Structure 1
Amino acid sequence: MTPGAEPTLGFHWPEALCAPVRALPDFSRLWVALSGGLDSTLLLHLAAQCHGGAGPVNAVHINHQLQPNAAETEAFCRSLCAGLNVPLVVERVSVASGEGSSGSGGIEEAARKARYAALERLVEPGDLLLMAHHGDDQAETVLFRLLRGSGVAGLAGMPASRALGGGRLFRPLLHLERSELERWARAAGLAWIDDPSNTDERFDRNFLRHRVLPLLRSRWPGLARRLRHTADACAESETLNRKLAALQWQSLAGEGDRLPVAGLYALSLAEQKNLIRWWARERGFQPPSITDWRQSLNDLLYAGQDREPELRADGFSLRRFQGDLYLVPETRPLPETPVVVEPGSSLRWGEWTLTLVASPKSPPPPIRVSTRQGGERVRFHPDGPSRSLKKWLQERAVPPWERARLPLVFAGPEGAGELIAIGDLWCSEQYSGGAHAAGWRLVVERECD
């Protein structure tokens, strides 16, 4: 622990610190992300002083259970909040120690994901969450992303505000340098806990913080301010990029997870990249990390009509089919063998839920679900002819990757059953509607419905 005297009674916090904390929009609850370090400890004091009498101030401590002093830090946070009369929520998260390496994709990233996942679950509509990132953190972020080859979206650094869970995240100290915060924290007599991992130079950010940035500052004073200006300029460019992409999406008649390819041909490579990145973010994914965009897009957009090109990304893929580009999220694995749908219960099948609503009179025939095996035929009317399921799906322009996942529902004994439903695309009148002839009603719903 970094010792401090007892907090000075009636200490007057400077307006430069209080003003951005007071200027927050209206909220139902105000949360402060409390690590126990200098920055978040100071921010909690500011929030308690500026909003303690005007609304509910709460703190949340994420215990990653990684550091040897994790229990001491949690105890410090509990004591600090008790002294300020601020309710505290402690979230313990598990991060596998062998997850990744010490680099950017290692345990640092795993801990960050676990931390933000816990915060997203906590923050509800109307809530604001304050985080104590400051100007030095922003400088590290911009430089770190520059070294990773990020574009303007990455070089924009951490936003001062963004959506988080059901509410919003705010960083009111982002314009201040850590030296200023430490000076005021010591003047106020605050104590805080130092994270021992912050000195471990095996981690990329710590290497930048302790080795690279001091050297750069010795050559270029005011480095944090310079990098902040770069971040601001990149943020402005990214805002314009997103507005352009939204306009082009509308003009190209994009819809949900589908975008007509014809309009993409008329765009420059830079516009194509910008639109696809925007599309991925709008759907909740990180944009594809691609070295050679020209070749990747050429393969995706100009492959022969008999091909099924695919560009894989983190959590989704881009696929082309019959003149459209599709954003296809990763899917859950499906059962390898047929599964029986029990009366009165629901069955999860990938993205679908199937429910067989009970009849008051007679039991149903065996109802089974499986994927396509080939050669299936369907009879759309009891006295009508049967049709090839393969041809019917082709006529309806169902993409191949969806055909392979559709739950096919059969009624009757295995090997001789009748196809009564095809995913959420069709259901036999005997098992649907208000006058279902079989006395049973089958409900098939997809997650996106």
Structure 2
Amino acid sequence: MPREIKKAVGEVGRCFKEAGLKPGDLLLLACSGGRDSLALALCARICARSMGLLLAGIVVDHGMQEGSGKVAARAVKQLSKMGISAKVVKISLDPREEKETGEEAAAREARHGALKREAKSEGARAVLLAHTLTDQAESVLLDACRTPSSSSWIGMEKACLRDGVLYLRPLLQISRRETTQICREAGISWWDDPTNGSEGEAGSDLPRRSRIRSLVMPELEAISGGGAQAHLAQFASMHREDEEFLDSLARKALGGASFSLPFSLPSSLFTSLPRPVERRCCRIILKNFLDRRAAVERQVEAFINLLDKGRGEIFLASSLRLCVSRGEVVINLCNN
């Protein structure tokens, strides 16, 4: 077995064991027809057979590009050749979501919705996602550009439970260079998404992630001598551990706080805490009242400024107000 395939199979098998998968469990593989998801399909099939797991594929067709139906059908055929039954699920973007968050984010939410529905409908134990070490490094840089928050540096989780569905990312220690080599060694051809751009070239019309991938990462790799991706991914993993520890201190400080309206806590609870824990308390509270992450991060520092002053108010949304007054933090509807 070629070295890259052996390494990736080891990572996939380790991920499956850590997730507590048992013989007979069904895994749903999300496949785009790209090199990463096809490399994962190959390795997941090997591990599934050795562990007695069931494996099926799902190809989500966003319909956002001309010929997307042909790309999806081709991916299904490639999975079938590997012995993995698969189907295409067509989705459309929510116009309101697209207007508020942009096309890329709206597509991500629509894709998540499709995977969630299929996983629950089929009784899948987990959904497999083909994010790589390269994706992890790009995500760290992209999130840092989006929001000035320490949580921007935590990257993606190897295992994540969302809306009752377990998502696994077994390839977070495997680079895109390695998935490319895996496909070449196995004789697998792949589709390249044109919106990803190409190294050294990325127009302003392409998504920010694509511009980071095509313009920023190659420069960082050259400057670092080839270790930038691995270092960013390792940093994200270590930083996630720090964040989880500080979050646990914040949750302990908040105790059994009820996040319902009207919400109220004494200001002294916050001001007696070290600033890193205080900031996370503010973030936890705001996450319970605001939907979008960007909105939460914008308001965290404003919340802390009110606590420092001991008085004042900010509007969290069109109908919510946060007020600090007379030693108390209150969140309530604006008309109350």
Could you say which TM-score interval applies, normalised by the shorter chain?
0.7 to 0.9
Equivalent of 1:121, from 117, 122, 128? 117
1:279–1:60 Cα change, 3 Å: farther
| CA distance in 2 between partners of 1:198 and 1:22 (Å) | 29
**How far is the alpha carbon of 1:117 from its aligned partner?**
2.2
Q: TM-score, normalised by structure 1?
A: 0.62
Q: Which amino acid is the alignment partner of residue 297 of structure 2?
A: S
In structure 2, the residue matched to 1:32 is: 29
In structure 1, the residue matched to 2:6 is: 15
**2:60 aligned counterpart, secondary structure:** strand
**Contact 1:30/1:57 (CA < 8 Å) preserved in 2?**
yes
**Contact 2:29/2:57 (CA < 8 Å) preserved in 1?**
yes
| CA distance in 1 between partners of 2:319 and 2:156 (Å) | 24
Q: Which amino acid is the alignment partner of residue 20 of structure 1?
A: E
Listed one character per residue, the Cα deviations across residues 159-193 of structure 1 (whole Å, up to 9, x for unaligned) are 11111332211111111111111112101101111
Q: Which amino acid is the alignment partner of residue 237 of structure 1?
A: D
1:236–1:51 Cα change, 3 Å: same
In structure 1, the residue matched to 2:285 is: 279
**How far is the alpha carbon of 1:140 from its aligned partner?**
0.9
Q: Which amino acid is the alignment partner of residue 229 of structure 1?
A: Q
1:317–1:297 Cα change, 3 Å: farther
Q: Comparing both structures, which one devotes a greater share of its residues to strand?
A: 1
Q: What does residue range 361-380 of structure 1 map to in structure 2 within 5 Å?
A: none
**Contact 1:121/1:165 (CA < 8 Å) preserved in 2?**
no
| CA distance in 2 between partners of 1:113 and 1:168 (Å) | 16
Q: Which amino acid is the alignment partner of residue 244 of structure 2?
A: T
**2:187 aligned counterpart, secondary structure:** coil
Listed one character per residue, the Cα deviations across residues 249-286 of structure 1 (whole Å, up to 9, x for unaligned) are 11xx5123334134234345543321021234467944
**1:173 aligned counterpart, secondary structure:** coil
In structure 2, the residue matched to 1:170 is: 168
Q: What does residue range 52-201 of structure 1 map to in structure 2 within 5 Å?
A: 52=49, 54-95=52-93, 105-124=101-120, 127-199=125-197, 201=203
| CA distance in 2 between partners of 1:171 and 1:400 (Å) | 45
**Structure 2 runs not aligned, ≥5 long:** none
In the alignment of these two chains, the number of paired residues is 313
The RMSD of aligned alpha carbons is 3.3
1:321–1:209 Cα change, 3 Å: closer
In structure 2, the residue matched to 1:256 is: 259
| CA distance in 2 between partners of 1:126 and 1:93 (Å) | 20
| CA distance in 1 between partners of 2:118 and 2:264 (Å) | 35
In structure 2, the residue matched to 1:51 is: 48
1:260–1:100 Cα change, 3 Å: same
Equivalent of 1:218, from 222, 225, 228? 222
Q: Comparing both structures, which one devotes a greater share of its residues to helix?
A: 2
1:213–1:105 Cα change, 3 Å: farther
**Does 1:228 pair with 2:226?**
no
Q: Which has the larger radius of gyration?
A: 1
Q: What does residue range 308-323 of structure 1 map to in structure 2 within 5 Å?
A: 309-312=313-316, 317=320, 319-320=322-323, 323=328
In structure 2, the residue matched to 1:209 is: 213
1:256–1:198 Cα change, 3 Å: same
| CA distance in 1 between partners of 2:309 and 2:28 (Å) | 46
**Structure 1 runs not aligned, ≥5 long:** 1-9, 329-398, 402-449
**How far is the alpha carbon of 1:22 from its aligned partner?**
1.8
Higher relative contact order, chain-length normalized (CA < 8 Å, sep 6+): 2
Equivalent of 1:293, from 290, 293, 301? 301
Q: TM-score, normalised by structure 2?
A: 0.80
| CA distance in 1 between partners of 2:271 and 2:259 (Å) | 20
In structure 2, the residue matched to 1:392 is: none
**2:316 aligned counterpart, secondary structure:** strand
**How far is the alpha carbon of 1:95 from its aligned partner?**
2.4
